Chains A and B, each alone.
Chain A
Amino acid sequence: MSGRSTRKPGDLQTRSYSADLEQDIVRLLGASFEGGWGNEVFWRWKHATRPGFTPRDVFVYTDAGTPVACFHVAVRPLHLAPGLDLICSVGGDLAIRSDLRGIGLPRSFYLQSARHLIEQSVVLRVGFTDSETYHRVYKPKFGHRVLPTVTAEYRKILSGRALQAKLQDFGDRLRSRPLLQRLLKRGQMTVRIAVCGFQPCDLVLSPDSTHCTTELSRRPDLRLRVPYKVLASVRNGSSAALWSVAGGLVSGQIRIGGVLRIFARLARG
């Protein structure tokens, strides 16, 4: 038996924003976004206090008076080229109660909002998505196209806590490698990692778990000292990373101790 609802968008009532809906809208968004969406203060800032906001920028479907789906647009000029600014709408914050998914509400919202946007002289509709949603929804159902942007995200870890979490992830991935599994058969292995600017920590690998701790053991199996910049260049995956590692080894910024002990352990295994 299919769990899909037999209801249609026409069975629901449409409404635009009024302040009494805020709590329900935020609840809907919170239930739809993995990892949460935000609170009412954030919603009010993002939508109701936005320069140019009109209540018709918020589209709500209700069922017996209770909001069950919402969609938001923001109409704003976008700069496209020297001398060319066009009125565009950015769409998003789409949330649908789980039992009403798959009945065509996104398409309904799309068509319903189009009338409002045309009245506001909107020329282009834009939005943010991920590769999977683009290929599953936006391209085949709305005819949207992905723009080749030069936008990039640059990230750097600042706290020891976040670095340890990353090292633990790395340790988990490492543990699945056959060579390491062979090594770990003879017992757990402790790698002392000292990243310049952070507190040294021990990555403790055992056949079925990894943990990273700042409570240092007296005799780690392997010691590694590495500048954060080199770690980051490795994650950037460029050819520059090779040079960075080679340079670090030659200059002594990267130091590894205990390699012979590991080889001996491998030979014994």
Chain B
Amino acid sequence: MPSHCTELPLPIRVRTFRSADTLPLVELANRCLAPYAGWVPRTAEYWLWTTLARPGVDAADVLVLEDDAEIVGYTALWGEGRVLDFVVDPDQPPRKRRALARQLIDAAEQRAQERGFDMLQFTLPISDQLVDTALRNSGYVVKQSEFFILGLLNPQALLQALANLRAARLTSLRIRSFVFELSPGQGPLLLTNRLILNLDPSLRVEDISDAAEYSTHCVIRIEVGSLAELIFCGRSIDSLLRQSQLQITPAAALADARTLLGALVVDTPWYIPASDRF
């Protein structure tokens, strides 16, 4: 495939995609997205499907930023000027990264004009201040509007995964078993209404919805929607307690329950790239 090159101050240049770029681009995208929640981990198969196989995308719409044979960024354009991916190596020094971002924005605009697009639209994390500033300085208007929503389908699997991840923070707990009594709230479906989280002999979350008797030192009552707010939406334990959306019994177990619930919180900022939109 012939490759169209735009010469920029050497040794950095922008060129179009070559098939040998797939794996380096996948690695770069995963590294750039790592600080965020809500994106699909890239594999070559997924990247090729979501980018190159997408109707309306041509290999010449994928622009690669190369610094002395090393790929340090890329962008991919889609129909009507939507930018699917815009990735600049997060490990570059800030000054250089800013310059790289500007070069890639200019190259994307040039390609968009070649394609006859009226507009260019990037979907990016506003918290990446360096890229945010580069875009604003290039005359981009910023808008945050779309809602990304979440519902818990399998609370047992979720609690197990989170407890495994944060096991080190649970070792000091005096209470070794917690029962979650879940209510569906407005949800039409609740797989389980009672789960037990045992720290001993190994960390395990079990469904005890049908158990007539169980032994525990702490019961946490919460609606499944409130549990989602606590884990993913930054809702504080205090606010849930104040509004009686969370009850912890007995009162003596409050400190340990707080430690447990605090450990389950996912506070990674959510960013959903355009290439992962459904």
Contacts and interface: CB of A to CB of B under 8 A. Distances in A.
Interface of A: 41-42, 45, 49-51, 74, 76-86, 89-93, 107, 110-111, 114, 117-118, 121-131, 133-134, 138-159, 161-162, 227-229, 231-233, 235-236, 240
Nearest to B48: A51
B86 to A, nearest CB: 9
A118 B154 CA distance: 8
A124 B150 contact: yes
Contact of B151 (A49, A85, A131, A142): A142
B233 A107 contact: no
Nearest to B115: A158
B118 A125 contact: no
B150 A235 contact: no
Interface stretch (B6-14, B173-181, B265-273): B265-273
30 contacts: A42-B55, A79-B39, A79-B40, A110-B188, A122-B154, A123-B158, A125-B151, A128-B146, A128-B272, A130-B146, A138-B149, A139-B186, A143-B184, A143-B223, A144-B228, A145-B233, A146-B148, A146-B233, A147-B148, A147-B232, A150-B271, A151-B272, A153-B122, A153-B145, A155-B119, A158-B109, A227-B139, A228-B139, A236-B141, A240-B136
Interface string B229-268: 1001110000000000000000000000000000000101
A50 B272 contact: no
B55 to A, nearest CB: 5
Given A80-B37, A232-B141, 19 more contacts: A45-B54, A77-B41, A78-B37, A81-B268, A123-B158, A124-B151, A128-B272, A147-B232, A150-B270, A151-B125, A151-B271, A152-B123, A155-B141, A158-B117, A159-B116, A228-B139, A229-B139, A235-B141, A240-B136
Given A128-B146, A152-B143, A145 B232 contact: yes
B99 interface: no
B151 A145 contact: yes
Q: Which secondary structure characterizes the binding site on chain A?
A: mixed
B5 interface: no
B214 interface: no
Contacts of A133: 147
Given A125-B153, A128-B146, A158-B109, A51 B81 contact: no
A147 B233 contact: yes
A268 B152 CA distance: 67
Nearest to A231: B139
B38 interface: yes
B224 A143 contact: yes
A130 B147 contact: yes
Q: Max chain B CB contacts within 10 Å: which of A77, A79, A121, A157? A: A79
A84 B151 CA distance: 17
A141 B187 CA distance: 6
Contacts of A158: 81, 109, 112-113, 117-120
